[in-house]
Amino acid sequence: MPIPAADIDAILKREADHDCPGVGEKHICVRIVGIAELPTRFGEFQIAAFWNNRDGKEHVAILRGDPRGAEDVPTRVHSECLTGDALGSLRCDCRDQLEVSLRRISTEDPGLVLYLRQEGRGIGLLNKIRAYALQDKGLDTVEANLALGFRDDERDYAIAAHMLGSLSVRSIRLLTNNPSKISQLTALGVKVAGRIPHVIPPNPHNRFYLETKAGRSGHWIDFEGKPHLPEQSDPVRVEGMGEGDARATEARDA
């Protein structure tokens, strides 16, 4: 069941003047400013829009069912990638990861995808494109980011932690292959009750592409032989490749 209209009104009223000491080193504070229906090609969702009181950034949560007060809510944290998510860029695997998340979450009740507006490993869209340009000249992603004067990964999961709090989620099971995401969220006060492996089912069109990526631990080589790092900070795992049957290893002990 989605969040009922009357409850949405109550949530927005409660959130209207929300302000708190914030989460994490940067004292991130967000408030929910709108919740609407979102029918998609992956299923029926609601979308909750969050406003960051501190820096004006906008984030969204894509909701399946009503996560308020729920335990063990399957949750994916996705970082925005305009070139991958919207344009279908093959420089990264963001689109594949987002699609798999939405399909998976569409089968849950409740389930969540937190979509964080921290493009390009946190350096922003314009700087990401500049980093791509440096990569085109032979630098790898880390070198390119450093050349632009940024850390390797500037993302901050404090936003995600606060969003979960705003949605009154008690505990989550995180859809990820990256244990450090779990420890980062846990350090920010999120109760992570388990991990769901994030596995991409291959099809005849993407099998070679995905297997090439998955074959390198953390790094992968594109069709032109250039190395890339996964932009979602989450190693790709392809169904049927290594580490046993991922679905069978779904764990609640992370």
> Active-site positions?
153, 155
Q: Which of 171, 214, 178 is nearest to 197 (CA)?
A: 178
Q: Under the criterion CB under 5 A, does residue 20 sit at the interface with Zn ion?
A: yes
**Distances from the Cα of 122 to the Cαs of 71, 119, 157, in angstroms?**
29, 5, 11
Residues from 65 through 104 that contact Zn ion (CB under 5 A): 81, 84, 92, 94
> Is residue 123 involved in binding Zn ion (CB under 5 A)?
no
CA distance 152 to 117: 17
Shortest Cβ distance from residue 248 to Zn ion (Å)?
Answer: 29
- Which of 3, 11, 29, 102 is in the footprint of Zn ion by CB under 5 A? 29
For Zn ion, the binding residues in 227-246 under the rule CB under 5 A are 231
In terms of DSSP bridges, do strands 237-238 and 227-228 run parallel, antiparallel, or are they unpaired? unpaired
Which uninterrupted H or E stretch holds 116? strand 111-116
DSSP H or E stretch at residue 9: helix 5-15
Which CB atom, from 187 or from 251, has the smaller least distance to Zn ion?
187
What are residue 76's phi and psi, to 5 degrees? -115, 135
Please, what is the end-to-end C-alpha distance for the chain in angstroms?
28
Instruction: Summarize the chain as % helix, strand, coil (round to 5).
Output: 30, 25, 45
Please state, in angstroms and rounded to a whole number, the distance separating the CA atoms of residues 172 and 111: 9
Q: Which amino acid, one-letter code, is at 53?
A: N
User: How many residues interact with Zn ion (rule CB under 5 A)?
Assistant: 7
Residue 193 C-beta: closest distance to Zn ion, Å: 23
Does 164 bind Zn ion (CB under 5 A)? Our answer is no
242 closest CA partner among 225, 217, 223, 219: 217
- Provide, rounded to whole angstroms, the least separation between the CB of residue 232 and Zn ion: 7
Q: Which of 94, 112 has the CB closer to Zn ion?
A: 94
- Between 153 and 231, CB nearer to Zn ion: 231
| Chain position carrying tokens 């409740």 | 110
Site track 32-71 with Zn ion (rule: CB under 5 A), x = hit = ----------------------------------------
Letters for 191-230 (x = contact with Zn ion by CB under 5 A, - = none) are ----------------------------------------
Which is closer to Zn ion, CB of 20 or CB of 193? 20
Give me the residues that bind Zn ion (CB under 5 A), please.
20, 29, 81, 84, 92, 94, 231
